[in-house]
């Protein structure tokens, strides 16, 4: 079992270019597993973790409803935003500057073969990170992601999640609002859930800006502990 994870920080990158890059890494891991099985090999598979910020973009998951995007193509262009239908779970979500997006491409055979546990661990990583800022975050029953003030009229989402998995290899991941422009969420029904707000860490802390790099360090610390993994910094091939 290989629990080393190749960490790549892509900076600000176009969504489609990053998606294509994810797909190439995902395929390389799946192909390696197929070869191992076919040829009775036990060669280790590689795990990846991508950090990225995207220019303004809306993405719709496989089971999503187009009606949850509240603007048309022309209005998207006016806002400098793009739109893609993607192959992850979940409904519609937004990515943009000031948001930490994480794409773990893991062979779960190296960790544990349980997608629900995987999602709960990603949520726990976010919850523990936010706790370091004295922000009490939690899960909302039946709704993937991380929320504040669950069960109250003030419930609001701070982190969205949507993943894809095949042969126990994962892709896509989470989007944590750190210094996000929340106005862009008004152009959709977030995750297809009506009547619930969205928030960002800087808003919750009442500050203009939170250090993105500091939040990333905390996320990696908690990921390492939860997954019993170690990170190796790598140069991105994108």
Q: Give the residue ranges of the annotated binding site for substrate.
A: 88-95, 160-162, 173-175
* Cα–Cα dist 105/19, whole Å: 12
Closest-CA residue to 9 (of 26, 21, 24, 23): 21
Is 190:60 a contact under the CB 8 Å cutoff? no
What gap in Å lies between CA 86 and CA 217, rounded to an integer? 28
DSSP 103-114: EEE-BGGGT-S-
191, 201, 212, 219: the active-site residue:
191
The answer to whether residue 159 is catalytic is: no
Distance of CA 33 to CAs 38, 82, 88, 182, Å?
Answer: 9, 34, 21, 41
| Helices 212-227 + 115-131 axis angle, to 10 | 140
Q: Which two tokens stand for residue 146?
A: 């991380």
Beta bridge pairs of residue 4 = 230
Contact 50, 103 (CB under 8 A): yes
Half-sphere exposure of residue 229: CA atoms within 13 angstroms, side-chain side = 29
Q: Which residues are catalytic?
A: 191
């Amino acid at each position: 079992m290989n629990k080393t994870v190749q960490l790549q920080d892509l900076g600000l990158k176009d969504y489609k270019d990053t998606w294509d890059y994810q797909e190439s890494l995902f395929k390389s891991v799946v192909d390696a597993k197929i070869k191992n099985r076919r040829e009775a090999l036990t060669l280790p598979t590689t795990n990846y973790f991508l950090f990225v910020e995207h220019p303004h973009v809306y993405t719709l998951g496989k089971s999503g409803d187009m009606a949850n995007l509240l603007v048309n193509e022309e209005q998207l262009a006016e806002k400098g935003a793009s739109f893609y239908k993607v192959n992850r779970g979940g409904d519609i979500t937004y990515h943009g500057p000031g948001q930490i997006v994480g794409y773990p491409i893991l062979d779960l055979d190296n960790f544990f073969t349980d997608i629900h546990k995987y999602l709960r661990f990603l949520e726990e990583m976010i919850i523990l990170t936010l706790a370091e800022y004295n922000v009490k975050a939690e899960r909302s029953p039946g709704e993937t992601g991380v929320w504040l003030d669950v069960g109250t009229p003030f419930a609001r989402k701070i982190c969205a999640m949507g993943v894809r998995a095949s042969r126990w290899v994962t892709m896509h991941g989470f989007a944590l609002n750190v210094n996000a422009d929340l106005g862009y969420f008004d152009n959709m029904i977030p995750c297809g859930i009506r009547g619930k707000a969205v928030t960002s860490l800087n808003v919750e802390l009442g500050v203009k800006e939170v250090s993105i790099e500091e939040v990333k360090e905390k996320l990696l610390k908690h990921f390492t502990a939860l997954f019993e993994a170690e990170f190796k910094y790598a140069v991105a091939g994108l």
